[in-house]
Amino acid sequence: MQAYGAKITLTPAKRSTDGAIEKAYAMGREHPELYFMTDQFNSEANWQAHYRQTGPEIWQQTAGKVTDVIATMGTSGTAMGLSKWFAKYHPAVRVTAVEPYYDHKIQGLKNMKESYKPGIFDKSLPYKIVNVGDEDAFSTTRLLARKEGIFAGMSSGAAMFAALHLAREIGEGFIVTILPDGGERYLSTSLFVPQAKPEPPVLRLRFYNTMSRKKEEFRPIHKRRATFYACGPTAYESPNMAHCRRFVVADLLARSLEYNGLAVESYMNITDLDDNTIAGADKAGLPLRDFTGKYVNEFMAAARELGVKKATGYPLASEHVGDMIDIARELLDKGYAYVKHGSIYFDISKFKRYGRLSGVDLSKIRTGKTVDLDDYEKDNPRDFTLLKRTTLDELKKGIFYETDWGNIRPGWHIECSAMSIHYLGETFDIHLASQNLMFPHHENEIAIAEALTGKPLANYWLHSGLLLRDGRKMSADNGNVVTMQDVLDRGYTGRELRFMFLVVHYRKPLHFSFKRLNSARQTLMRIDEFSRKLLCLPPDLPHPDVALLVATLEKKFFAALGDDFNMSGAVGALFHFIKKINPILQAGSLDRRQKNDVLEVLRKVNSVLGIIRLERCPLAPEIDQLIRQRERARQLKDWTAADSVREELLKKGIAVCDTACGPIWERSIEPGRQGNER
């Protein structure tokens, strides 16, 4: 065009065709003496050309056999002219108009909702209007070239995709498809470049790092692998709500890292060797291993009930005493520890960086109350115990380890340092635990590890909020503990608990109540109802808004998730999606591809949440037969028989809901399993 003397004026790409229209109109208004504007978007001659020529040509060249015509919409002249001609002369012929979805990249076409509507456009004229996605249009364009030798453009690919889709729907017919553009104009684009398999979307993760006191983008030490260590429970009591929340937060972290394409190596320790476990075993009259083993099994069962994916490992402190003794020996050699009366202590005065994580000022703390509660003699009351001299009672029971310094057992703080370094190395990515462990436990962990290696123990420190009940920390001392079994005995499920934990930001305190748990149950019932409608929906005609809704959910959900687990924003995006899709389901307006797209985005969301049921529970043949029997009775308007079958199904624990899409069933809550708010 430039060779012929034309001047090319560019408009912003983001404005697409609308930008060119605005510019052309402005030039025509400002200089009418210089420009002649055909204005094909408003010219009656546009649609009339197809009314007078294209329509009759199609009829003549197909010898009247045509049943369907496919035309894309840019100016809309082709679709409008053909619709008018066939409606007048051969009304049995169906004209399908094709438009792209919102925010499309198909050059030459317009989505009539998001751009200026041509003056000649009338949505009531075509038999129907269908939408085609960008990738469907592009891949079909390449398919035309590869399989048919037709060098067409991307608008033609959109038309051909719609034609193929229609052919599958009608089974029999004579379809004429108009290819509006050639491929030569796209040689400067990537349309005909061999397409590599698209990379999965990258989830940018930002965490609030307690050490730096700000949100930081997560950058793992290894490019394709993430490592984290979580402080786990002590095996002397049954799992309670505080333990359960820590399980779920650790699982949320692992699932998010996995969604980001990272191989996750994670460990959660279980403390089975400390003052509490020894005292508990003594009170129960059981060997220590038997006593702690019972609670270890309960913790694992609770994690499974909560839908927690299995971590790489759950190391026991008792299995790593040798590592702890080696660390203590090396700290002695480095001058960071000392021996006194058969115990080994860490000398805090030698570690100048103590207190960075919690911000504690050692000069202001109450000695014996915060740093170390153990009743042993030390050079400095603020020093903490690495290895403890065994008591006579422990010696009698065989709970001791022989060393050069005498019979000992490990202190609590060295246990986590030893296990995390053993499995993940001197420095790993993330250390996760509850806020109440920040001081002194995590400060002491850091002191041990950094004195030992000279390197940071972890690059990111994440802390979850406290679990409260009646305004106080849930603990045995406060007498307000609710165990996992208490919750299950009231008829709640681990899934309902999981959702209750997820919807509260992990860094905020969570005020537990059965009222809150009931709310989680009701919310999950709404999600379940939506899932059942979707799974039961038979494919029908497509809906133009679905692609945008799917893309918006994926974008907003994972953007919120990546922002330090903003679950309020993430779950809010999910419920906005459900609210918008529900009327579409009620109208039965999803085709097979769109239904699969909705299911696929929900699977992505659920890969992190772990609470959406996307597989229909198998029904016993007897139940399935009853549902079909009831539906036949309804179709025959035999309401008495239909109601009788409904009652029979209820007795068998199956509730049936009638929708425009057909019957949807769910398992009713068993009598006596309904929770209360107390």
pLDDT in tens, 236-271: 999 999 999 999 999 999 999 999 999 999 999 999
**pLDDT per position as a tens digit, 508-539:** 999 999 999 999 999 999 999 899 888 877 77
326 contacts 344 by C-beta, under 8 angstroms = no
**What does DSSP assign to residue 274?**
S
**pLDDT per position as a tens digit, 556-578:** 999 999 999 999 999 999 999 99
Task: Annotate 543-578 with b (16+ C-beta within 10 A) or e (fewer).
Answer: bbbbbbbbbbbbebbbebbbbbbebebbbebbeebb
Rounded distance between C-alpha atoms, residue 452 and residue 444, angstroms? 12
Place of tokens 């709310």: 519
Strand 406-410, strand 428-434: pairing: unpaired
437 contacts 375 by C-beta, under 8 angstroms = no
Rounded distance between C-alpha atoms, residue 137 and residue 128, angstroms? 19
Percent of the chain with pLDDT over 90: 68
Q: What's the mean pLDDT in 199-203? A: 57
User: What pLDDT is stored for residue 107 in this prediction?
Assistant: 83
219 contacts 429 by C-beta, under 8 angstroms = no
User: What pLDDT is stored for residue 37 in this prediction?
Assistant: 86
Rounded distance between C-alpha atoms, residue 399 and residue 419, angstroms? 20
Task: Annotate 318-355 with b (16+ C-beta within 10 A) or e (fewer).
Answer: bebbebbbebbbebeeeebbbbeeebbbbbbebbeebb
Nearest to 349 by CA among 377, 384, 388, 387: 384
User: What pLDDT is stored for residue 377 in this prediction?
Assistant: 52
73 contacts 97 by C-beta, under 8 angstroms = yes
Whether pLDDT at 12 is above 90: no
* Other beta carbons within 10 Å of 112: 17
Rounded distance between C-alpha atoms, residue 633 and residue 639, angstroms? 7
The residue type of 109 is L
Place of tokens 């199956």: 654
The residue type of 643 is D
User: What pLDDT is stored for residue 678 in this prediction?
Assistant: 41
**pLDDT per position as a tens digit, 64-123:** 999 999 999 999 999 999 999 999 999 999 999 999 987 788 888 888 877 889 999 999
**pLDDT per position as a tens digit, 131-177:** 898 888 988 998 899 889 999 999 999 999 999 989 878 878 999 99
**pLDDT per position as a tens digit, 617-676:** 556 778 778 888 888 888 888 999 989 998 998 888 888 777 655 676 766 654 334 444
Whether pLDDT at 412 is above 70: yes
User: What pLDDT is stored for residue 24 in this prediction?
Assistant: 87
Rounded distance between C-alpha atoms, residue 549 and residue 527, angstroms? 17
pLDDT confidence bin for 49, thresholds 50/70/90: very high
User: What pLDDT is stored for residue 587 in this prediction?
Assistant: 78
Rg of the chain in Å (alpha carbons): 34
Q: What's the mean pLDDT in 199-225? A: 89
User: What pLDDT is stored for residue 675 in this prediction?
Assistant: 45
Whether pLDDT at 485 is above 70: yes
Report CA dihedral (547, 548, 550, 556) to the nearest 10 degrees.
160
User: What pLDDT is stored for residue 373 in this prediction?
Assistant: 46
Rounded distance between C-alpha atoms, residue 363 and residue 213, angstroms? 22
Whether pLDDT at 196 is above 60: no
- Looking at the DSSP bridge assignments, the partners of residue 658 are 663
Helix (H, G, I), strand (E, B) or coil at 501: helix
Rounded distance between C-alpha atoms, residue 533 and residue 614, angstroms? 11
Rounded distance between C-alpha atoms, residue 598 and residue 408, angstroms? 60
* Other beta carbons within 10 Å of 618: 8
Place of tokens 């915060």: 370
Strand 384-389, strand 406-410: pairing: antiparallel
- Two tokens at 530? 């939506």
266 contacts 312 by C-beta, under 8 angstroms = yes
pLDDT confidence bin for 378, thresholds 50/70/90: low
